[in-house]
Amino acid sequence: MSKLRKVFKAAGITAASIAVLLTAAYFILPHGPRDTMEFNDPYRVERTLVTGKNYMVAAGTPWAAHAAIEILDRGGNAYDASIASLLALNVTFGHAASFPGVAPILLHDARTGEVISYTGAGTAPSAATVEYFKSHGYDNIPKLNVLAHLLPASPDVLVAVLKQYGTMSFTEVSATAIKIAREGFPIHKQMMADMNLGFFTRLGLTWLLPYNSNVYYRGQWWRPFHHADRFTLPDLANTFQSLCKAEQDALARGASREQGLDAVRDYFYKGPIADAIAGLHEEKKGLITKADLSNYKGYWEKPLSGKFREYTIFANRTWNQGAIVPMVLQLLDGVDLKSMGHNSLEYIHTVLQAIELCLADREAFFGDPAFVNVPVEGLLNPRYAAERRKLFTPNRAFGATPRHGDPFAFQKTGGAFIYENRNIAVARNDGGLSFGKDTSYIAVVDKQGNAVSLTPSDFPESPMVPGTGLTLGTRMIQFYLDEKHPDGLMPGKRPRITPNPGMVFKNGKFYMSYGTPGGDSQTQAMIQFFLNLVVFGMDVQEAISAPRFISLNWPDSFAPHAYTAGTIKMERSLYDSYEPALAKMGYTVLPLGNWDNKVGAVCAVIRDPSTGTLTGGADPREESWAEGK
């Protein structure tokens, strides 16, 4: 007994000592800003419509927009500018859109009139199987673990875009990002909201993810973020610089521009960076190998599309959720929305039901088309939309997610439904350690009419690669550990990711690039923005700034795939107006603040097909910024 008392006494002394040290750290160690920079933060500040005649950019941060404008000023095209913007965004919004994360993209080539998609999501490692995770005791893929790492996609994307459509080198388009990463940028309010953890949470993060903590708290975990404090990313700058050196060495040996870009790609996927990634996985008992990285490659593909009046809405294929947008709009094309009134009770209910019907089909059918027979012809058939429209229930919410349809009956090619969605209730949990989140967006249109729509993402909620500044993210958690599910995990498969860029034609000509962060809310924000613009005649900025609502009546794309039947969220002005009436219809209505980024943060660039005039808009819900000339 005396021995046991001694053990408890020693433990108590140790705990008390730790508590004293932490208390001393809290009160004695420096907590203030290091080096405040001058910065007029546009977070939740009303935007004005931006117009231009030559080119236009709308992006997730002002620095990303400026980086694209710099390239366009120097004679680069929209494709060059979009990659410069991407890399600057990886620096200035890297906790939400990291390098080398996912980067789904749509491009319009003004010479050919074509829209083309590139697979901007990585694949599962070759050893990643449902059996592996189940045998190791996992019901879902763990977030704070290297097992959440998907193979990185954005280096492959940016090289493919620059080689096929660009005119500049990686060294040229990365220069601004490298400068910002070295010299710093002011911590902005969205970064504060996402990353400014409490004292003890920062301590826990330092224990769980030490390199991540070192990158973001710069070796002083006890020091909180301060608005406008200078923030640098020297390791990421060094990584970008090493890619530039690989390119410059190749060019010095007589390589062409395209061969120089291949050298950049090889340095990442086959050289020292691949060694660092594979080494981390070997150390942490992860799954990514050097062979996985060497063999990885994305590909060009024909995008999906649907119609709303004279507009054609384009989306990536079903390795992401983008096709929901044309599906919902086709369903609503047979409804007189304008007579209902903008954001009226009837309008909100109708749009919610269209969204929920299509999200039921997303859950039942969407997956990587290289692995799953997705009935896209049927899902995007206007006759199928008309059939689903019959399921609307005026004055009454669906309650549970409505049942999926049978799109196979509306296409020429065969197929059969293989997964029964049980919609088992799993509580949404906003608790636990969250370190970085969200996504971002970039739209670019140049003087020739070339256009890009790009939705980069990934965040440091898994171990970063030591010494590199690289964030591989957590996209593996968008798989289901159920091989029968269309989004079920398989080696080499892409998860059905949420980031999805949008592009619109009007009467057969390019009209708009648009998109948003927001996870599962992305498609819902894009739909409401489009309807504000097209049905209610708002300009692009008005359409972005207007209040929004979202449904939660579907299984979440992120593990544990939470499902809360009949629940919606609304920005405060809508909640105050409609909560009682919507509750009577059967909805559970939850309030958000006004201009809350949980309903997305849309950016868009429009080119008038008849005059060529450009207009841009950016969402005040984040630091989004539009700029043109």
Tell me the per-residue pLDDT of 567-605, one tens digit each, with 9 for 90 and over: 999 999 999 999 999 999 999 999 999 999 999 999 999
Pairing of strands 588-592, 567-571: parallel
> What band does 26 get if pLDDT is binned at 50, 70 and 90?
low
Task: Return the HEC string of 113-179.
Answer: CEEEEECCCCCCCCCCCHHHHHHCCCCCCCCCCHHHCCCCCHHHHHHHHHHHCCCCCHHHHHHHHHH
At residue 177, does pLDDT exceed 60? yes
Q: What digits encode the pLDDT tens for the residues 275-330?
A: 999 999 999 999 999 999 999 999 999 999 999 999 999 999 999 999 999 999 99
CA-to-CA distance for 168 and 178, rounded, in angstroms? 16
At residue 201, does pLDDT exceed 90? no
Higher-pLDDT residue of 432, 385? 385
Residue 316 sits at φ, ψ, to 5 deg, of -65, 170
**Closest Cα to residue 99, out of 440, 472, 499?**
472
Query: Is there a contact between 101 and 471 (Cβ–Cβ < 8 Å)?
Result: yes
CA dist 456 to 427, 434, 473, Å? 28, 19, 12
What is the dihedral sign for C-alpha 66, 71, 75, 81? negative
Higher-pLDDT residue of 614, 18? 614
> What band does 417 get if pLDDT is binned at 50, 70 and 90?
low
**Closest Cα to residue 273, out of 250, 245, 231, 251?**
245
Q: What digits encode the pLDDT tens for the residues 526-561?
A: 999 999 999 999 999 999 999 999 999 989 999 999
SS3 115: strand
DSSP class of 383: H
At residue 47, does pLDDT exceed 90? yes
Query: Is there a contact between 148 and 477 (Cβ–Cβ < 8 Å)?
Result: yes
User: Which of 168-182, 412-426, 551-565 has the weakest average pLDDT?
Assistant: 412-426
Q: What is the pLDDT of residue 27?
A: 60
Give first-to-last CA distance, the chain, whole Å: 81
**Closest Cα to residue 401, out of 340, 357, 446?**
357
At residue 429, does pLDDT exceed 60? no
Query: Is there a contact between 459 and 98 (Cβ–Cβ < 8 Å)?
Result: yes
Is the peptide bond prior to 620 cis by the omega test (within 30 degrees of 0)?
Answer: no
At residue 116, does pLDDT exceed 50? yes
DSSP class of 517: -
CA torsion, ordered 329, 335, 336, 342, to nearest 10 deg:
-50
CA-to-CA distance for 565 and 153, rounded, in angstroms? 34
Q: What is the pLDDT of residue 1?
A: 47
Q: pLDDT > 90: what percent of the chain?
A: 86
Tell the residue number behind the tokens 């200078």, with chain if given.
230
The secondary element (H helix, E strand) that includes residue 617 is strand 614-618
Q: What is the pLDDT of residue 81?
A: 99
CA-to-CA distance for 467 and 469, rounded, in angstroms? 6
**Closest Cα to residue 615, out of 534, 515, 519, 513?**
513
> What band does 197 get if pLDDT is binned at 50, 70 and 90?
confident
> What band does 434 get if pLDDT is binned at 50, 70 and 90?
very low
Q: What is the pLDDT of residue 557?
A: 94
Tell the residue number behind the tokens 């006890």, with chain if given.
222
CA-to-CA distance for 184 and 91, rounded, in angstroms? 9
Burial class of residue 628, CB neighbours in 10 A (0-12, 13-18, 19+) = buried
At residue 431, does pLDDT exceed 50? no
Q: What is the pLDDT of residue 200?
A: 85
CA dist 333 to 7, 310, 344, 542, 602, Å? 73, 11, 18, 22, 22
Range list of β-strands (E), 418-532: 442-445, 451-454, 502-506, 509-515
Number of Cβ within a 10 Å radius of residue 437: 17
**Closest Cα to residue 84, out of 156, 161, 153?**
161
At residue 219, does pLDDT exceed 60? yes
Q: 0.85 cut: is pTM over it? A: yes
**What order do you get walking across the sheet with 549-551 strand by strand?**
549-551, 567-571, 588-592
Q: What is the pLDDT of residue 24?
A: 58
CA-to-CA distance for 301 and 106, rounded, in angstroms? 10
CA-to-CA distance for 134 and 126, rounded, in angstroms? 16
The secondary element (H helix, E strand) that includes residue 50 is strand 50-52
CA dist 474 to 93, 219, 390, 431, 539, Å? 16, 24, 39, 17, 36
Q: What is the pLDDT of residue 603?
A: 99
CA-to-CA distance for 498 and 455, rounded, in angstroms? 10
**Which residues have a Cβ under 8 Å from the Cβ of 142 and sit 6 or more positions away?**
148, 477
CA-to-CA distance for 127 and 125, rounded, in angstroms? 5
> What band does 418 get if pLDDT is binned at 50, 70 and 90?
low
What mean pLDDT, rounded, does the chain reach? 93
| Mean pLDDT, rounded, for 55-76 | 99
At residue 20, does pLDDT exceed 60? no
At residue 363, does pLDDT exceed 50? yes
